[in-house]
Amino acid sequence: MDYNIEEEYCKIIQSKLDLEDFDGALLNAKKLLKYAPDCARGYYYQGLCHYALCDFDASINNYEKCIELDHNFAKAYYNLGIAKYYLGYFKEAKNYIEYAYKLFTNKEDKTACAKCVDSLEFIQEEHGL
């Protein structure tokens, strides 16, 4: 069995996130990206960490970089929409979440689709979009 350092870092990062150790997860995501600067998941994880630490601008930058590297990274589109929402960019948020919904539909991820629908309904109810 081959050792995959990217996968190992992702496991470490996810375990830190599960423990709500966002600083530790962020540190490991940075290490991952130092090793593999074109790893979309590394930017996704950095985005999650920055979001959890309420640094929405940094979160957005990381989700955008993730999407630049992987145009089909549905979770990054969804989370980018949520981060945009918290900064008051409601129309952009809606657009990103709608796009995530399309990607999740293509993957037949019903749970993620339902989450998108809930978010879109909330934006509709709160902001008429």
The CA distance from 59 to 49, in Å, is: 8
Residue 96 near residue 80 (C-beta atoms within 8 A): yes
pLDDT computed for residue 68 by the predictor: 98
pLDDT computed for residue 119 by the predictor: 98
Tell how far CA 15 is from the center of its chain. Answer: 16
pLDDT computed for residue 83 by the predictor: 97
What is the DSSP secondary-structure string of 28-64? Answer: HHHHHHHH-TT-HHHHHHHHHHHHHTT-HHHHHHHHH
Residue 81 near residue 92 (C-beta atoms within 8 A): yes
pLDDT computed for residue 82 by the predictor: 97
pLDDT computed for residue 11 by the predictor: 96
pLDDT computed for residue 73 by the predictor: 98
pLDDT computed for residue 1 by the predictor: 53
- Those residues of the chain that have pLDDT short of 50 are none
